[in-house]
Structure 1
């Protein structure tokens, strides 16, 4: 959502046509009529909000539920985790031995242990987890299209947008993909205006800044009121956009871009240099660690929905990069990889984030969600690792009115299927909207004016205090 990327938000319109659009909008532009659906959302009875904002920590690749939070201590050897369990702050509850700091804050976390869907491929499962909706087919080649549902944050921006001059929906620092870009990260049929403010910059970079919200050095903010000067800037930056592949993931909207260029509040929210060095070290000097710290800054400033992606790729062999997709190979196996990268990063971020939010009085009003697109097979494979498993896995929710230490649902003795209280991804979506005070039955309309409820499920109200 930057001035640099203004015209990418309407890439199906001719650039000159966009600049000629007339009307009473800001500086003569009326892009809302071009980019927004004409029908307003049909809002049902709104529940009482327990959260003002959401931080969604999306664990791309699919963490193993039976090796982290739903360990089956009495399962047969071919199912039982190779990691030892440790006690937590909740009596009788165990987590993986490689999550000692997380164990100390489990009394702040509610678990849903029976999340399930039917998508076995990363792109289709990722879309399902990011939107709460299953696509019509389980296909690894699934791509973004206007037939698919928008991201959670885009829906929130449509039905309950911010009114505080800050973006409603921010995502970073990756565009996730497995071959093709995973759908469900942007606004789809809601229109580009509801895309997230997407930041591809690494928050762990010592020079991290919002280049997306910068002007050419020779143009002061005061000159933005000059229409001719502004059009010259747009033309120059649109040309740069055409030449910059990295910029193509940044969808902008004109009026929001201008307001952000003028907003000290926005710039301050993204300024990690204002955080104490000690706190930055505590979160961990990793891309993901600093992304979690930035998420706290954003919700503290008033951003309503923040999505942080664990990594851009699903992962695989590497102990130094990639997501949770650890099937195992002859030279690198899951149980060797996770303790080196994934589990330590998690243990250096999730508990620190929850404690930091609580110390600042923000945890009660911020819903933190932690889950991926699926879990891993309960039975260990021939590579001493685990494969994809969407039939039952665990989601963590904390803050935002949830009951810390609660466990909803129970998987069977292997962690293979729900044994009690199954929860769909639609139910999970409904739970999140419910926390924000948005009725899950609220309707939005696609490009054919067909109505759809924002969530295909019911909220899991038992996890709320």
Structure 2
């Protein structure tokens, strides 16, 4: 198991020791509640964080690194493929010709071109890329369970929850799945359902988009809602079961979170996409993915700490075993170019890029060699992750793939290193210990921060 590189981080060791002490105490008979732990941590020595919020853009199915951000223009045609590469504003960096806006913004983001893992099936591949943890089994039918390692947004919710009335973690516009099997890594896993993301399972590009589930029912005003909340609290105090059963406490937490959300003006306002000027909405793209990315920006502005946008099987995905080039040119690349370039430009113009870390990743890369159906197959030995904002220095690269894009050539990185970098930027020690349902201790990240990318 790899460990964080703490060199060059003032105060890191003292913070690590304090947190570990607190967590060890909390593990002894559950003496520290989560709120007590957070209160104690807030008084502990801290190191500066570079990010307040995170936007994760997840490309389910696995985007081809060779046809996006790691082209091989000098490779043979059966590897190079049909697309040309274009020069970007960063000297020496070339990316796919069908990402022209992102070529102009290459100095705003960095690329990790040496990301690798072992899981070649979609659900295990998504799990390791989301959580930084390899699944013990690599089968396509791997299903989500309460024993899974948590989504990073759920870990943020556990340690750094957003203010009352604002969800800490939001996922949209659809869940990812491979057939009937729910993909692990999307949920809170062993942290419990109360730390699951808030799911927005609607199409923000629809003209009538709204989130009625987060609005007060007709005829129920705020005063009546508060009366019901007080009644629920009084009944809870009378019930010994409610004080002792984890499941009941979880239900109470759900009720409280729902009440907080429907009474939060900031959260309600974030979903009013119709208030955005037409030219802004057009820049993101009038499609499900583009408007979801725009909504992610609005949620960050409202105080949400972690937003995940899935380009999932529900909107096509990136599993291009057939007609790779036709599919990418027709939708995936132009939609990515418009949405991601608009997001980076928008965040910067609003003064949010410095405090918002954006990363673009997926299950795995795709095979260097093109198959007989003009497609590329699953390839976990090498892929590319894009990172920007929140302390990530623009225009840099970490690691490189070999001449055919098959394997890391230098500075190999893992999804665990990516996750460790995210937590490091948020001010969370990647070696902070959490416990699963069997009280087994483990660090929140199985990797090391990629410090050369950070300020």
TM-score of the aligned structures, taking structure 2 as reference length: 0.84
Separation (CA, whole Å) in 1 of partners of 2:283 and 2:35: 47
Separation (CA, whole Å) in 1 of partners of 2:36 and 2:187: 19
Instruction: Kindly indicate whether residue 282 of structure 2 is the aligned counterpart of residue 281 of structure 1.
Output: yes
Separation (CA, whole Å) in 1 of partners of 2:253 and 2:271: 18
Matched residue, 1:205: 206
The size of the alignment, in residue pairs, is: 402
Secondary structure in 2 aligned to 1:292?
A: helix
Alignment of 1:275-314 (within 5 A): 275-313=276-314
Matched residue, 2:157: 157
> CA 1:410 to 1:122, structure 2 compared with 1: closer, same or farther past 3 Å?
same
CA shift digits 1:46-74 (9 cap, x unpaired): 54211110000001111100111111122
Secondary structure in 1 aligned to 2:357?
A: strand
Instruction: Kindly indicate whether residue 451 of structure 2 is the aligned counterpart of residue 457 of structure 1.
Output: no
Which stretch of the first structure deviates more once superposed, 445-454 or 56-65?
445-454
Separation (CA, whole Å) in 1 of partners of 2:206 and 2:45: 44
TM-score of the aligned structures, taking structure 1 as reference length: 0.83
Matched residue, 2:85: 85
Secondary structure in 1 aligned to 2:317?
A: coil
Instruction: Kindly indicate whether residue 384 of structure 2 is the aligned counterpart of residue 390 of structure 1.
Output: no
Native 8 Å contact 2:166 2:260 kept in 1: no
CA shift digits 1:71-108 (9 cap, x unpaired): 11221222112101111111121111111111100110
Matched residue, 1:322: 316
Separation (CA, whole Å) in 2 of partners of 1:305 and 1:405: 24
Cα shift at 1:37? 8.2
Separation (CA, whole Å) in 2 of partners of 1:47 and 1:395: 26
Cα shift at 1:195? 0.7
Native 8 Å contact 2:61 2:313 kept in 1: no
Deviating beyond 4 angstroms after TM superposition, the runs of 4 or more aligned structure 1 residues are: 36-47, 228-231
> CA 1:275 to 1:419, structure 2 compared with 1: closer, same or farther past 3 Å?
same
Native 8 Å contact 1:324 1:342 kept in 2: yes
Alignment of 1:1-400 (within 5 A): 47-163=47-163, 165-179=165-179, 180-227=181-228, 253-313=254-314, 321-328=315-322, 333-400=323-390
Native 8 Å contact 1:125 1:374 kept in 2: yes
CA shift digits 1:271-299 (9 cap, x unpaired): 11221111111111111101111111111
CA RMSD, 1 decimal = 2.2
Separation (CA, whole Å) in 1 of partners of 2:141 and 2:35: 31
Cα shift at 1:161? 1.3
Secondary structure in 2 aligned to 1:54?
A: strand
Give the one of 412, 417, 426 matched to 1:422: 412
Higher helix share: 2
Cα shift at 1:147? 2.2
Native 8 Å contact 2:62 2:366 kept in 1: yes
Separation (CA, whole Å) in 2 of partners of 1:39 and 1:393: 41
> CA 1:194 to 1:170, structure 2 compared with 1: closer, same or farther past 3 Å?
same
Give the one of 430, 433, 440 matched to 2:423: 433
Matched residue, 2:395: 405
> CA 1:97 to 1:183, structure 2 compared with 1: closer, same or farther past 3 Å?
same
CA shift digits 1:180-208 (9 cap, x unpaired): 01011111110111111111111111111
Secondary structure in 2 aligned to 1:156?
A: helix
CA shift digits 1:349-407 (9 cap, x unpaired): 11111000000011011100001110100111111211000101000001111111101
Cα shift at 1:163? 2.6
> CA 1:228 to 1:255, structure 2 compared with 1: closer, same or farther past 3 Å?
closer
Native 8 Å contact 1:37 1:445 kept in 2: no
Separation (CA, whole Å) in 2 of partners of 1:292 and 1:344: 14
Cα shift at 1:150? 0.7
Native 8 Å contact 1:71 1:81 kept in 2: no
CA shift digits 1:425-450 (9 cap, x unpaired): 11110011011111000111111111
Cα shift at 1:45? 7.6
Secondary structure in 2 aligned to 1:66?
A: coil
Separation (CA, whole Å) in 1 of partners of 2:128 and 2:73: 30
CA shift digits 1:289-339 (9 cap, x unpaired): 0111111111112111000011244xxxxxxx51110101xxxx1111110
Secondary structure in 1 aligned to 2:320?
A: coil
Cα shift at 1:226? 3.1
Native 8 Å contact 1:124 1:134 kept in 2: yes
Where structure 1 has 5 or more consecutive residues not aligned to the other structure, the ranges are 1-32, 232-250, 314-320
